[in-house]
Structures are given as structure tokens and as C-alpha cells.
A and B are shown apart, each in its own frame.
Chain A
């Protein structure tokens, strides 16, 4: 699903964020990417989202070489992955429903399908009653679940969560991780980028540790749902 082959990323100022990083995240896996602030986690994420290009090496997502991907193809790559950010990144002027529907509208999905799919996904994350609320009228946990619903609405094969528990209390953090775990159980690859070692320890999953741009540890604590066909394009999984 995600392949890093000898990836190095050096920013224009000369700061080396990742150094010769190689790893392979399989389809259906649940992976924690651990690292303290400045370790290179954000760059790792930016490379997967193709927000940045690797200085050398190759990054493959769903079999697509992102170092060769054209600018105009980037939106189509992102439509096939769901991203949950620490600061939720919801559009403040849109209701929960509109925020989730927006992710479908960008792909020109007919309104009829949006009207059935969005409420379904919002109910799935426990927000059936809050569809018409603006983000400012929702708690941090609720906003995070809207962000998760937005990530899930396309039924992607890959969910990336960047510090998903950073802005919510411990109890809700656990709830969020269980939700991600449930999502993973239907075969969706989940990558959680975090600096919270304790959180990663609570779940018996694969933990990749990055420090100063190097991969320093890669330990699989549990049995991941590895499947064949890693190079298949990122596509839809029923949820």
C-alpha cells in the first residue's frame, strides 16, 4: 500500500527531514508512526499526500510512484485516501453534513448519492443527531469524528490520521482509536502518526519509529491484516 524506497527529503533551506528511509506498509495493516517533534513525521505524511516531493528515492502509494505524479493528478490521488488531522481542518462556515458532503462534491458525485451516503457515514461515527451543527457548536471529539466521517465517505483503502488524539481528552482518544481499529477491521489500511508512545503501546499494532529523519525501529506487536495485491491502485472498500 505504501512503499518508501531510500527516501531522502532535504528542504530548500538545507534542513534534512528524512534520510534514506525505506519501509513498506501493507494493505490492511494498522500502523503507528511514532516520533518526537521534529523527527520527520510531518514530512513522512506530506510525502504520502504528495504535498512535498522526495529529494531522492521513491514513494509509492497504491502502486503509484508519487515522485513521478503530475500536479494535476494529485487531487485524484487524495480522493482515494482519507486524512484526519490533529486540528480537524473542518470548514468553519459549513455544517457537519456540508463538510462531509464537500469531500464527495469535489469528485462530482450526484447529489442523490450524497444525500444517502453522508447521513450514513455520520451515523456510523455517532453523529447522526449533529448533522446540521456548525463546527464551532461541537466539542473537539465531535469535530474529530466529523473529520473521520469526511475521511471515510469515499470508502478509501487508506486512512491517515495525523495526531488524531492531540486535541481531545484521553477518554475520547481511546474512543477515537477504537473507531480507527474498527475501520481497520474491514480491511482499510490505517496509518496513525503520533508522538504519544503510550497510545501506541495500548494497541498491539505495528509501530514504526522515526528519529532525526531515520527509521530507528519497526516492530509488529500484533497480527496485521496483510493481504496480497499491494500494488493495486487505491480504491473503494465497502463500509
Chain B
């Protein structure tokens, strides 16, 4: 096929979009609706996952230190813990700091602790360690316990188990939903495209009779499907990201615990826009072009 034929066929594909505008609108409408549904499910899943991950990140493992540690030994322990990988944060609580914390808990009865200052302080200095990934809990606990000077490690084992379970369930549910929606979309879109091609089977028939090769017939349909897919991807991206911007806007107006949890865990626009736009355009263009090309094949046997 020469360049002028290619240009002509590509133009024909674009021309057909207008000439068969009703079927074009049907294709774009169905594809856009499917993309929006899939996008909403995907974003919902990703945000729930982020929320659970955020809550999980609030884990705190307490690492108790030997009361007899010298300053040099303490410095050694500090260096070892801070150089460990996979820790999101490390906070040192001296014996005095622990006492002050307890005094805080007692409120107006804080002076009851007055006799426990200095050498009488019964608390153990400790480190509050937050893990980057709760899945590493057992390994990290073992690593911390092995440090000389550490007497006891108190991990949030139950909490970790709950969060890991919830996170896994949310992941499976959300991505299964996305998977089902993708399959449903492919079926619905294929049928719409098949209908579009079926309505033009006579045209394909005529092309065959005047000696057009299969490639020559397919190319305009391919361009047409690709363009429909691209337009659908653009519309769906605008709709989903517009909706998500509204969600982000309203999430900033939440108060109290909701603000702390939802506000901190919602994925920002910067984290999601390229996934949405890229995914929609790629999916739209692929299914539009390939779906059309495959549907045309059935009518080429003349």
C-alpha cells in the first residue's frame, strides 16, 4: 500500500465517523460508560487500599531497653536501630519522658508520681518503632530482639494481623471488581462494534466485489475504531478526574476523625491522573481498534 492510499484510507476512516454518526455516538457512549465505571472501581479500590495502608502505618512496636545500659551502650543501640532498614520512624523515649507521659495521663493526680523521679523511676527507656510494611513484622521483631541491650520487644501482632487481612481482602475485592468490569466492558463494546460493522456489511461487501484487499478494507475501520476509542478515553478521563477532584475538594472540608483518616489517606490528584489518563487512552484505543478490526473479519469472507 502506498502513502497516498494510506492517507486516503485514514481520511476515509475519519469521514466514516461523521457519516455514521449515530453508530459512532453509540460506540463512544458505551465505551465511555464502561471506562468510567472501571475507573471509578479502580480509584475506589486504590483509595481503600491507601486508607487501610495508612491505618496500618499507625502501628507502633515498643522496644524496651535494659535499665543498666551505660551512655556508650545506649548510643550503640541507638545507632543500630536507626540504621535498620524498613522502619518508617524511630522515636527514643527516655525513662524521664515515659514518666512525663504517665504524668500527663493522670491529669490533676500527676503529683502521685512525684516520688518516682530520678533513680526511683520504675519505667524502662524504650524506642517506639513504626514499620514501613506490617508484613515484615516478625522479621523486624526478631532483628530488634537480637540487638544487645534490648530486653523486650512488644509488637502489635494482633493489629498487624487484622490490617494485613483487611488490606488483602480489599485488594482482592477491588481488583476483582475492576477485572469483572473490564471483561463486561470488552463484551459490551465488542457487541456494539459488531453492530456498527454489521450495519455496514453491505459497504464491506461492495469493497470486496471491486477488488479491495482485506487490509484495504480493514484500515479505515481500524482508524475509525481507534479514534472512537481515543475520544472515549478523553471523555472518560475528564469525567473521572473531574469527579475525583470534587471528592478531594469535599474531603478537605471534613472535620474530626474523618479529616484525620480520609484526608490523610486519599491519593492525591498527582498520584492518580497519569494512571487514569494513560489507562483509559490505552484501553480505549486498543479495544476500539482491535475490536473493530476483528469484527470486520467476519464480513470479509465474500
Contact = CB atoms under 8 A, between A and B. Distances in A.
Interface of A: 49, 51, 72, 75-80, 83, 85, 89-93, 102-103, 105-108, 110-111, 150
A75 B211 contact: yes
Nearest to A77: B211
Contacts of A83: 209
Nearest to B15: A93
Given A89-B205, A108-B1, A110-B4, A102 B19 contact: no
Given A91-B203, A93-B16, A105-B8, 11 more contacts: A51-B302, A78-B209, A83-B209, A89-B202, A93-B19, A102-B210, A105-B5, A108-B1, A110-B4, A111-B4, A150-B210
B24 to A, nearest CB: 12
B44 interface: no
Interface of B: 1-2, 4-5, 8, 15-16, 19-20, 202-203, 205-213, 216, 302
B209 A89 contact: yes
A75 B205 contact: no
Contacts of A80: 211
B297 to A, nearest CB: 13
A103 B1 contact: no
A214 B20 CA distance: 44
Contacts of A89: 202, 205-206, 209
Nearest to B212: A106
Contacts of A76: 211
A74 B97 CA distance: 90
Contact of A103 (B8, B202, B211): B211
B203 A75 contact: no
A99 B207 CA distance: 10
Contacts of B19: 93
A38 B118 CA distance: 113
A175 to B, nearest CB: 24
Contact of B210 (A51, A78, A93): A78
Contacts of B211: 75-80, 103, 106-107
A93 B19 CA distance: 7
Nearest to B202: A89
Contacts of A85: 209
A49 B208 CA distance: 10
A75 B302 contact: no
A92 B294 CA distance: 24
Nearest to A101: B8
B4 A103 contact: no
Nearest to B210: A103
18 contacts: A51-B302, A75-B212, A75-B213, A76-B211, A78-B210, A78-B211, A79-B211, A89-B202, A91-B203, A91-B207, A93-B20, A102-B210, A103-B210, A103-B211, A105-B5, A106-B207, A106-B216, A107-B211
A78 B302 CA distance: 12
A83 B210 CA distance: 8
A108 B203 contact: no
B210 A108 contact: no
Chain B CB count within 10 A is highest, among A79, A83, A108, for A108
A135 to B, nearest CB: 11
A197 B138 CA distance: 95
A60 to B, nearest CB: 19
Nearest to B217: A106
List of 4 A-B pairs having minimum Cβ-Cβ separation, nearest first: A79-B211, A78-B211, A106-B212, A93-B19
B299 to A, nearest CB: 13
Contacts of B207: 91, 102, 106
Given A51-B302, A89-B202, A93-B16, A108 B2 contact: yes
B209 A106 contact: no
A12 B86 CA distance: 70
Contacts of A110: 4
A156 B205 CA distance: 20
A226 B20 CA distance: 47
A108 B209 contact: no
Given A51-B302, A78-B211, A103-B211, A108 B206 contact: no
Contact of A91 (B2, B4, B206): B206
A103 B209 CA distance: 9
Given A89-B202, A91-B203, A93-B16, A106 B2 contact: no
B209 A49 contact: yes
B298 to A, nearest CB: 15
